[in-house]
Structure 1
Amino acid sequence: MNGWMHEVWVVAQREFSDLNDVASITQLVIRLCVALVLGSVLGFERELAGRDAGLRTHMLVSTGSALFVLVPLQAGFAQDDMSRVLQGLVSGIGFLGAGAIIKLSAEREVRGLTTAASLWFAAGVGVAAGLGREATAILSTAIALLILGGLRALKRSVGPHDT
């Protein structure tokens, strides 16, 4: 290999060296996959409920949130810097959630608040998974499913019935 090709090869190796051992790769795969699976569970519930933000949206929010905390962790960010990353992430998810909320002026009704909240929650689950708190992410998702599905079923069972 001549001089410039060798230099290109060295630079390319350095650029892709963020995952340089099996432990790093395994950790990254586990954390991203946990975020992906838990986001898909939340999104599937929203799709079953017939909501616009469903499976793909929740998967992207959860996995993207995990990525936003994984990269700074890999880069060795200090806790103060990670706090700023989380602040930006929460603001961005708030903007996304606002897009899920619709005000129907003719009926004077606001819709999409629960979907916006579930997107916000999916981001939190992704952050937990990305920070290596997989058990917390799983337990939180179970609680969210109880809130979303369980309370909807309870509401139907005790709600007004036609006679």
Structure 2
Amino acid sequence: MDLFNNTEIVTPLLRIFLVIILCGMIGLEREIKKQAAGLRTHILVGLGACLLMLLSLDGFSNFITTYPNVTTIDPSRIPSYVITGIGFLGAGTIIVQGGGTQIRGLTTAASIWIVAGIGLVVGNGMYFEAIVTTLLVLFVLFFLNKLEATFFHKNKSNFILTLNVKQPFSFTTLSNTIENNGGSIVKTTSEAGENSNMTFQFFIQHTNDQKKKAIVDSLLQLDNIKKVTTQLNEETPQ
């Protein structure tokens, strides 16, 4: 029982457990999204940062007491190395695809960086700031992505839809099918083929994978559609 009455032991332990809870909440969100760095990684980063802050604050107290005239302490030195070093771990979660046109993992890298900060803050005893920051991070991760997808077309892409059709066909039916399934047509080209066949290209913008699949499936159900292909369009046609 005397052990639990010792604030020098209880206080650091409480800070460690608080870090596990706060960083675990952020890590759980990343785990649900199936990111490279999930629950375990975020907890470990937060724990490591908290321990290093505790070391910076109290780890050298005996040495300072023994040699008070020859010892100075800078509590910010070790935490500064944590912030610098965590960048290498965050960089490992970033994946560049499509020749540099698509980058994944930036949000996870940022969440790793911020849980390191939360670990340092909790280790310094700033509980309120750490809790509020964690709640704000969770709000950003859970809700702002929906806002981005709605208003800024995040998680959407531009693509070219190529249709090979045979006579007779209705161009209006083709375009209406695309638009009724959420496609936004910005340009159309056509080319005559053999045996009265036609090839149409529809340039469609700001469409996610779910809508793209619905467009293709609906077109394939139309009469006289011979082939439907899609390809990523990295530039929006003018």
User: Shorter chain as normaliser: what TM range?
Assistant: 0.7 to 0.9
Larger radius of gyration: 2
Q: Which residue of 2 aligns with 1:83?
A: 76
Task: For CA contacts below 8 A with separation 6 or more, give which structure has more relative contact order.
Answer: 1
Alignment of 1:45-56 (within 5 A): 45-56=29-40
Structure 1 unaligned regions, length at least 5: 1-18
Q: What displacement does 1:89 show? A: 0.5
1:118-151 Cα distance to aligned partner (Å, 9 max, x none): 0000001111110001111100000101111110
Letter in 2 for 1:27: T
Higher share in strand: 2
Structure 1 position 32 matched with structure 2 position 26: no
Letter in 2 for 1:110: I
Structure 1 position 114 matched with structure 2 position 107: yes
Q: Which residue of 2 aligns with 1:22?
A: 6
Distance 1:128 1:162, change over 3 A: same
Identity %: 37
Q: Report how many aligned residue pairs link the two structures.
A: 145
Query: What TM-score do you get using the length of structure 2 for normalisation?
Result: 0.55
Choose the corresponding residue for 1:124, options 102, 117, 129: 117
Q: Is the contact between residue 56 and residue 76 of structure 2 (CA under 8 Å) also seen in structure 1?
A: no
Distance 1:157 1:98, change over 3 A: same
**Pairwise CA RMSD:** 2.4
> Matched residues in 2 for 1:74 and 1:20: separation?
19
Letter in 2 for 1:56: R
1:30-58 Cα distance to aligned partner (Å, 9 max, x none): 11111111110000011112211110000
Query: What TM-score do you get using the length of structure 1 for normalisation?
Result: 0.79
Structure 2 unaligned regions, length at least 5: 65-70, 157-180, 184-238
Structure 1 position 162 matched with structure 2 position 182: yes
